[in-house]
Structure 1
């Protein structure tokens, strides 16, 4: 832990999307911010989503109109803020008469088109699947359907970019650093931090503390802050969501939303060029969120859904990768896990005017930015914060693409970097946006990108990820800073492991200052 500063306005605990979003917003308003994460950034829930920026069409059935409106408005904001990692996607919904009547779906899609003030995405329409190309992979009994628009996001990169922007605006970002104790001392918090590798301890002071620990939010209140009475008043409901990745089931770039007899829906999404992503399940979960995996029953459930709709059947043997995450939803006492609200609740505890503690319950990746704004609004009084909200009109790092037109910008990049193979150019552009200029630097040939470790992985990229994005291991690179883990061979993975072993990483890479600001 290299930063000697011990006084902060705000300490944010939790390096998922909500914690990173709050840290970014706060740093941009001039607050002295420290963000700490026990593991890697986006190590848990925020890298295990269905990877959608969406209003949540099915939430309309539960009368969550306010949440859907808020999410649909955010869809437009985020699409402009990060056009490199967020892009439009068209969804096809085959109609099953026995589940939902046609009029209900039409009404829902009409609301979905108009509730959030859609401006850049095409509206919904009916489909004749018997003649539409989207119907070709489906079983012949599905003759009609609907199409509507939403957006796709590289979820873990969204978290990293929020943390990166926070750091560039002055925040201190500490990964592999656990908050092991926090107590009020007069008008501030004394916060105990522990490096998870070295075991080194550090105590800092903060005017306010944010508990964005996700699935551990209640546990943090009880065991770290000792605020058991506050934890007793509000709870998270842990809902497990699991996904399968299989070789691609269709050749076009549209996704599918499939209805099930249990009224749950399953998405089937084009993924990483060569694959289809299938999910998610909704199951109540109890236990340690750090150690979970998809169950055999969940795998069978997802496979059966695909086989009900698609001509090409799949079995568990077709699965090339699977992942599971726990969503920390606010417990609204809904009987069905699928019906639990995806909205968030912010709980501010000032203990009679003392140093504030704000706890984040629930939320979804699409509304993380408004959650951060609401969090700062609640802290504005205690912190005497006058700075106004700002994130709605600012791009995320790498997102300053002219007119937010990724395709036009990519075409121009080909002229700037003629030596980059098209696939590598696309991947750099999609992952890093305009920051790829920092990654590539003055390279004029592939040899200038450093050692080739295999499968398009050059050491220039690893150097960039260590310096600017807190990467410390091969898994950080292959599964959270990218999804190259699906594409590289075991030989390449071992070569990356060996490279990290030879070169190591800073004890606390990429905190604040020139290293981050130079990337701008």
Structure 2
């Protein structure tokens, strides 16, 4: 139970609105530097742009085209920080850029860009790039379209397969440092007096209860709500909503199983129809393909990949890998979201800056409010540092040293750490080695706490879904130790089960049974969650052409199965 009365009576130094990766990083940094911090998120943590990303920790190679060298350098530095502070989540990945005569970027231009990329990442631990001849490309990628091929560039970037868990670990570290973090808590009103935010009214979206967060003379309010920044500003009836700040673009992805000609590494290719770069990335035994980049001004709470976007990604992938023969039937999952980019009327979507802006609302009637415009997965730690520095400046206090440059996240562990071998030895015969490796790749050093549940209840070591590596203990762990409140939290963000097999519908009966048995969830709560899960998948993930085919289970069928 959440104690709203105690929260109302607490004097917070920093109030953060939005629990995506940038809000989480800000909460972590603020708490570690001694500020009394609270973060509120209207849905689940990482439920917005963070979970809609391509899951790459990259330097932004294409930003070089727009001469945003500072952004590339910042991104490359943050990539290196993450590879060291979260090695269980952020891992190196090799990228290959096929180069074609008909492409918009020639062999020499891409080579020059790669040299500059290496120079800007002078402190990296990853290898430098290499250029490949046409013959080498055809040897390494036998299925690639070789017509007009002139060669390729290969380089290394980073991948965060579990981007949602990267956000979660920032929040767990913030909690450990004393921060209060709350999901399913929506800010419904912002009151200002004498050029300051003085009060925020919040609503618990799980139970409907409302409470208020009062500010004191030195409280700073941080708006990291991503695409919802303008909507949050609009909660104040005065001047905060004047002037549009966000001009988001929509990005969609598809997930497919391995296919004929699928590359072993990642491809960064240029779409032949419109020249837009996109990725074909190996991801947890499947392939993640995306993203699109279209202007978007529609509703933000329910966004899905259109049939046209799906067809675009399929068609372009079949062009670069003709043996693939991908069709709509090969698509196992889709997701789509909005990049919270600065509003830039008249600019092409791809040319809008990816640099982040800390917007001070002093001239709009709130001297203690700062909003984040932009921001991306790779640079979240830097954003957090900048926000907390700004908070101390607002408070007219000396700025303490930032601790997050080298501080590992809670799960940080390397595969050659002696603890990994010890876990394998301890659970030999009880937890299959591939399952343990899978858990270590998600929970890192926290895997030991997860497996303590199996020590107490051996049946929690059983798989959730046949053919997948996730075990029942993860359901209990998500609910008890990771603030999961709904089935979507467990299957879409604490794990990736929803993205692997039929949208996770087959796992719902097991999730319901485990939560009833080990976490005390009522049958009514589980049935309600099944309904919500179906609604979420229908609104956000299942393509319209699949819905029209009517081949998916109904909530009633799932609920019946879960109570059998």
Worse overlay, 22-31 or 345-354: 345-354
Q: Distance in 2 between matches of 1:336 and 1:89?
A: 29
Structure 2 gap ranges (5+): 526-564
Match of 2:154 in 1: 147
Show the counterpart of 1:127: 132
C-alpha RMSD over aligned residues: 2.5
Equivalent residue of 1:182, what SS?
strand
C-alpha distance in 1 between matches for 2:315 and 2:43? 35
Q: 1:191 offset after TM fit, Å? A: 1.5
Match of 1:388 in 2: 401
Match of 1:137 in 2: 143
Secondary structure in structure 2 of the residue aligned to 1:388: coil
Q: How far apart are 1:238 and its partner, in Å?
A: 1.2
Is the 1:135–1:143 Cα contact (8 Å) retained in structure 2?
Answer: no
Q: How does 1:313-328 map to 2 (within 5 A)?
A: 313-328=325-340
In the aligned structure 2, how far is the partner of 1:111 from the partner of 1:327?
26
SS at match of 1:394: coil
Cα displacement string for residues 250-277 of structure 1 (whole angstroms, at most 9, x for unaligned residues):
566410001124231010000111x111
Counterparts in 2 of 1:102 and 1:457: CA distance versus 1, 3 Å:
closer
Within the alignment, does 1:165 sit opposite 2:173 as a pair?
A: yes
Output the CA distance in 2 between the equivalents of 1:232 and 1:353.
Answer: 11
Judging changes above 3 Å, is the alpha-carbon distance between structure 1 residues 423 and 349 closer, same or farther for their aligned structure 2 residues?
same
Report the Cα offset of residue 474 of structure 1.
2.4
Given that residues 184 and 355 in structure 1 are in contact (C-alpha distance below 8 angstroms), is that contact kept between their aligned partners in structure 2? no
Residue number among 350, 355, 358 corresponding to 2:370 in the alignment: 358
Which whole-Å CA distance do the structure 1 matches of 2:243 and 2:387 have between them?
19
1:307 is displaced (CA, Å) by 1.3
Residues 454, 174 of structure 1: CA spacing in aligned structure 2 closer, same or farther, 3 A cutoff? same
* Counterparts of 2:99 and 2:464, CA distance in 1: 47
Deviation at 1:245, TM superposition (A): 0.7
Contact persistence 2:454–2:461 (CA under 8 A): no
Shift of 1:406: 5.7
Which stretch of the first structure deviates more once superposed, 117-126 or 134-143? 134-143
**Could you tell me whether the CA contact under 8 Å between 1:189 and 1:208 is conserved in 2?**
no
In the TM superposition, residue 157 of structure 1 has moved relative to its aligned partner by 1.0
CA distance in 1, matches of 2:145, 2:22: 40
- Secondary structure of 1:232's counterpart equals coil
Q: Is the contact made by 1:398 and 1:435 (CA closer than 8 Å) also made in structure 2?
A: yes
Deviation of 1:234 (Å): 5.0
Partner Cα distance (2:227, 2:197) in 1: 26
Structure 1 residue 177, shift from structure 2 partner: 0.5
Equivalent in the alignment of 1:112: 117
TM-score (ref. length: structure 1): 0.90
Give the alignment partner of residue 202 of structure 1, picking from 192, 211, 216. Answer: 211
Change (3 A) 1:266 1:450: closer
How many pairs were matched up?
A: 501
Cα 1:226/1:21, change in 2 over 3 Å: farther
- After TM superposition, give the deviation of residue 43 of structure 1 in Å: 0.9
Report the alpha carbon displacement of residue 244 of structure 1 after superposing the two structures with TM. 0.7
Equivalent in 499, 503, 507 of residue 514 of structure 2: 499
Q: Deviations along 1:19-77, whole A, 9 cap, x unmatched? A: 11111111111111110011011111110100000011111111111111100111000
How far apart, in 1, do the equivalents of 2:337 and 2:246 lie? 15
Query: Is the 2:248–2:341 contact (alpha carbons within 8 Å) kept by the matching residues of 1?
Result: yes
Give a deviation string over 1:317-349, Cα, whole Å, max 9, x none.
211111101111012446210111111111122
1: distance between equivalents of 2:35 and 2:445?
A: 27
Q: 1:177 to 1:359 in 2, by over 3 A?
A: same
User: Does the residue aligned with 2:341 lie in a helix, a strand or coil?
Assistant: strand
| Superposed CA offset, 1:437-468 (max 9, x none) | 11112755982636654435444222221122
- Does residue 484 in structure 1 map to residue 490 in structure 2? no
Corresponding residue number in structure 2 for 1:47? 51
- Counterpart of 2:201 in structure 1 is 192
